[in-house]
Amino acid sequence: MENPLTPEVLADPVALTRALVDIESVSRNEKAIADCVEEVLRGVPHLTTYRHGNTVMARTDLGRAQRVVLAGHLDTVPLNNNFPSTMRGDLIYGCGTSDMKSGVAYALHLAVTLPDPRYDVTYFFYEAEEIESTYNGLRLVGEAHPEWLRADFALLLEPTYGIVEAGCQGTMRAMVTTTGVRAHSARSWHGVNAIHAAGEVLRRLQAYEARRVTIDGCEYREGMNAVRIHGGVAGNVVPDRCDIEVNYRFAPDRTPAEAEAHLREVFEGFDLAVTDVAAGALPGLEAAPAKEFLAAVGAAPIGKLGWTDVARFAALGIPALNFGPGDPNLAHHPDEHVEISKIRDGAATLHRWLAAH
């Protein structure tokens, strides 16, 4: 395949967004797009480029006092009759336009066109963010090449609609289990119905009042919800087990251990097993590059409602923020799109921040 990321395309973040969207890269199928990105970056004289799996990293080494990371994931969710891209007025439609190939376009455009940034910059174009953490390119790089991640500040180019979203919520999934005694449904009084017992779990969730927490001026609104329920043996059997899967989104002032303790308090009296957890990230507004970036944006940040890979950098002691042109409400939507004006405005903001001396 001839590389569609030509010099003319790379010079324009809007054209670059379309070109990236038009390289199909559903999770676990990122080789083609990684090949194209790697080929471009290896031809840029002011960058040193490395690759691990389908994650491509390029960096400047200009001897600056501080290093910043710009990172974006190459993968998308499965296609949904929204490939290749189309344009309608000020909008580019297509899978990944919002989440997050318009953000990736920022990083790739700057990597190629900005040879003398005010900081040393590490650019990450990584695989498998949209699926299980096992495959996440940043996680794999952290295991194999932890030195690649070293920096004073990181910017994840996730969709934020041009607003700086600070930190992120933690997320925890747990299975709450009710038990009973099997019996023939014609003689149900001989048994104890575990599905009926689940009503108390659901009542506690219905009555639950989620916290709203403000940290460094950023509000994080927690949430606790049943997301899946399973129970039953057969159409004529009183069930002896019911599992209710609960997802808890917790503010970053809580550790995973504290979040689990809170879940166990809410569901006291029931069996509970945590099945998945990821810590949140505090806002990360104090680093000098973060303050300078916020000055370039010219607007106050808000708290990130959701989990992003800023948490991976926060776990390493690297403050990180989210910033991208896409609308997060359109991520994974069949009608996913991004505004051309948002792409241009955000690209100008990043250039103003990185090019200023």
Determine the Cα–Cα distance for residues 195 and 243; give it in Å rounded to an integer: 9
- Whether the per-residue pLDDT at 1 is higher than 80: the answer is no
Domains 7-168+281-355 and 170-278 share a fold: no
pLDDT band per the 50, 70, 90 thresholds, residue 132: confident
CB count in 10 Å sphere of residue 192: 17
Name the token pair of 232. 């039953």
Q: Which of 355, 354, 331, 313 is nearest to 103 (CA)?
A: 331
Determine the Cα–Cα distance for residues 335 and 92; give it in Å rounded to an integer: 10
Cβ(198)–Cβ(231) below 8 Å: yes
pLDDT value of position 357: 65
Domain residue spans in the chain? Answer: 7-168+281-355, 170-278
Q: DSSP letter for 253, please.
A: T
Name the token pair of 274. 């945590």
pLDDT value of position 136: 96
* Mean pLDDT for the stretch of residues 97-124: 97
Active site residues: 75, 129
Nearest 5°: phi and psi at 114?
-120, 90
CATH number, domain 170-278:
3.30.70.360
CB count in 10 Å sphere of residue 184: 11
Query: Which one is the CATH code of 7-168+281-355: 1.20.120.140, 3.40.630.10, 3.40.190.290, 3.30.420.10?
Result: 3.40.630.10
Is residue 58 within a helix (H) or strand (E), and if so which, with residue range?
strand 55-59
Find all residues with CB under 8 Å of 258, minimum gap 6, and list them: none
Digit-coded pLDDT (tens) for 133-158: 899 999 999 999 999 999 999 999 99
Find all residues with CB under 8 Å of 102, minimum gap 6, and list them: 13, 17, 92, 159, 324, 325, 326, 338, 342, 343
pLDDT value of position 114: 97
pLDDT band per the 50, 70, 90 thresholds, residue 86: very high
* Mean pLDDT for the stretch of residues 216-234: 96
